[in-house]
Amino acid sequence: MNHVRIIGTGSKAPDKVLSNHDLEKMVETSDEWITARTGIKERRIAEDGIASSDMGYDASLKALEASGTDPSELDVIIVGTVTPDYMMPSTGCLIQSKLKAKNAYGFDLAAGCSGFLYALHVGYGLIKAGTAKKILVVGTETLSRIMDYEDRSTCILFGDGAGAVVLSESEEPGIMSSCLNADGDDWELLYIPGGGSKIPASKESIENKDHYMKMNGRDVFRIAVKSMEAATMQAVEEAGIKPEDIDLLIPHQANFRILEAVRKRLNLPEDRLFSNLDKYGNTSAASVPLALDEAVRSGRAKKGDILLFTVFGGGFTWGATVVRL
Question: Where on the chain is the footprint of ligand ACO (CB under 6 A)?
Answer: 29, 33, 37-38, 112-113, 152-153, 156, 190, 215, 217-218, 220-221, 224, 254-255, 282, 284, 312-314
20, 93, 113, 155: the catalytic one is: 113
- DSSP H helices in 183-241: 203-207, 217-239
Residues 6+ positions from 219 with CB-CB distance below 8 Å:
186, 189
Distance from C-alpha of 80 to C-alpha of 115, rounded to nearest angstrom: 4
CA atoms within 13 A on the CB side of 282: 25
Ranked by CB distance to ligand ACO, the top (closest) residue is 217
20, 121, 179, 252: the catalytic one is: 252
Instruction: Assess whether 2 carries a catalytic annotation.
Output: no
171-182 burial, b at 16+ Cβ within 10 Å, e below that, comes to: eeebbbbbbbbb
Instruction: Assess whether 252 carries a catalytic annotation.
Output: yes
> Smaller CB distance to ligand ACO: residue 32 or 204?
32
Distance from C-alpha of 64 to C-alpha of 298, rounded to nearest angstrom: 18
Q: What dihedral do alpha carbons 53, 55, 56, 61 form, nearest 10°?
A: 120
Instruction: Assess whether 211 carries a catalytic annotation.
Output: no
| Closest CB 156 distance from ligand ACO, rounded Å | 4
> Smaller CB distance to ligand ACO: residue 173 or 195?
195
| Closest CB 252 distance from ligand ACO, rounded Å | 6
Distance from C-alpha of 174 to C-alpha of 151, rounded to nearest angstrom: 42
Residue 78 neighbours by CB distance under 10 Å: 28
Distance from C-alpha of 143 to C-alpha of 257, rounded to nearest angstrom: 21
Q: Where are the beta strands (DSSP E) in 172-305?
A: 175-182, 190-191, 214-215, 248-251
Distance from C-alpha of 197 to C-alpha of 97, rounded to nearest angstrom: 27
| Closest CB 287 distance from ligand ACO, rounded Å | 7
| Closest CB 152 distance from ligand ACO, rounded Å | 4
**Helix (DSSP H) and strand (DSSP E) numbers for the chain:** 11, 13
Q: Which residues are catalytic?
A: 113, 252, 282
